[in-house]
Amino acid sequence: MSLDQLMAWVPAGSAEAELARQIHPDRLPRHVAIIMDGNGRWAGERHLPRVEGHRAGIDAVRDVVETSARLGLEVLTLYAFSVENWKRPIAEVSTLMLLLKRYLRAELATLLTNNIRFNVIGRSNELAPDVLEELGAAEHKTSRNTGMLFNIALNYGGRTEILDAARRAIASGIRPEALDEQTFSEFLYTKNQPDPDLLIRTSGEMRVSNFLLWQIAYAEIYVTETFWPDFRCRHLLEAILAYQKRDRRYGGIPPATVGAGAGGRGL
């Protein structure tokens, strides 16, 4: 997929088409990760039960997944359920799981048409058997796709992931001296995937919330006030345009200032 595929999909002359036109295809983030937040507040503003916010959030998931694949992103990761989310009322947890199953059933054809490979990250073995079965079927049916990798973070925690990786590393018998950042990252759930270049959080909260703690070391963070159920193609393109204006330094200094006495400021 490529920017052309996106241009063919968005209505000609629309705000989305204008935003897509401004994107530099050669400077796309390889991996975009999103903390989908604000479903409860979206529902609250409409005097609806919280779960209606999650239900409306599915439309946003659908739009963002297809936009990302058409745009040509390599990896999209959505934070759907954290290890902490079990503390929510049982009815809300059950609805989230039900929505997830429905989404997978309804969207499988779109995932296949768009050559998207579906993958779960997190302690998925702790999920209910019916959910696991649905997830496994979607992973299996899309496993030969060669386009965008769509990670869904479920029963996911960044610290839990690092702990699980440490346990796997120890169990593998690797010599401590052989363990460096590269080899350690091969024990993470995101093995062989590029780290996120862009982390988006909706609903204005300025928190990382235990998401991809290892992998976001150098990610650019973009926070939008938009609640997740209202987030669409247009908002994703705006985030990518903002990302393309950032000056990524990875702890170094901008090339123009090398030797100009301005070094050492940027983190």
Q: Which residues are catalytic?
A: 37, 85
Residue selected from 40, 122, 157, 158 as contacting ligand FPP according to rule CB under 6 A = 40
Nearer Cβ to ligand FPP (165/212): 212
Closest approach of ligand FPP to the CB of residue 210, in Å: 12
How many CB atoms sit inside 10 A of residue 156's CB? 26
Residue choice 30, 41, 141, 168 for contact with ligand FPP (CB under 6 A): 41
List 38, 122, 157, 196, residue binding ligand FPP (CB under 6 A): 38
Q: Which residues contact 181 (CB under 8 A, 6 or more apart)?
A: none
**70-129: contacts with ligand FPP (CB under 6 A):** 78, 80, 85, 96, 99-100, 103
Q: What are phi and psi of 48, to 5 degrees?
A: -115, 160
Q: If we measure between CA atoms, which residue out of 137, 138, 151, 158 comes closest to residue 207?
A: 158
Q: Is the Cβ of residue 41 or residue 141 nearer to ligand FPP in the bound state? A: 41
Contact of 81 with 154, CB cutoff 8 Å: yes
Print burial letters for 94-107: b (CB count within 10 Å at least 16), e (below 16): ebbbebbbebbeeb
Least distance (Å) between residue 52 CB and ligand FPP: 11
Counting contacts by CB under 6 A, is residue 210 touching ligand FPP?
no
18-32 in b/e form (b: 16+ CB < 10 A) is ebbeebeeeebbebb
**Measured from the CB atom, is 91 or 258 closer to ligand FPP?**
91
What is the C-alpha radius of gyration for the chain, rounded to an integer number of angstroms?
19
54 contacts ligand FPP (rule: CB under 6 A): yes
Residues between 150 and 169 with contacts to ligand FPP, criterion CB under 6 A: 152
Among 33, 34, 37, 158, binds ligand FPP (CB under 6 A): 37
- For the record, the structure tokens of 241 come out as 């345009």
- Comparing CB distances to ligand FPP, the nearer of 99 and 162 is 99
In whole angstroms, the minimum distance from the beta carbon of 58 to ligand FPP comes to: 6
Q: Residue 20 or residue 55: which is nearer to ligand FPP going by CB?
A: 55
Decide if residue 149 touches ligand FPP (CB under 6 A). no
Q: State the CB neighbour count (10 A cutoff) for residue 161.
A: 25
Among 10, 36, 71, 233, binds ligand FPP (CB under 6 A): 36
> Closest CB to ligand FPP belongs to which residue?
40
Quote the Cα angle for 109-33-183, to 5°: 105
β-strand pairing of 198-201 with 149-156: unpaired
CA distance between the termini of the chain: 34
CB of 261 to ligand FPP, least distance (A): 46
Report whether 104 contacts 60 (CB < 8 A).
no
Residues at the site binding ligand FPP, with contacts judged by CB under 6 A: 36-41, 54, 57-58, 61, 78, 80, 85, 96, 99-100, 103, 152, 203, 228
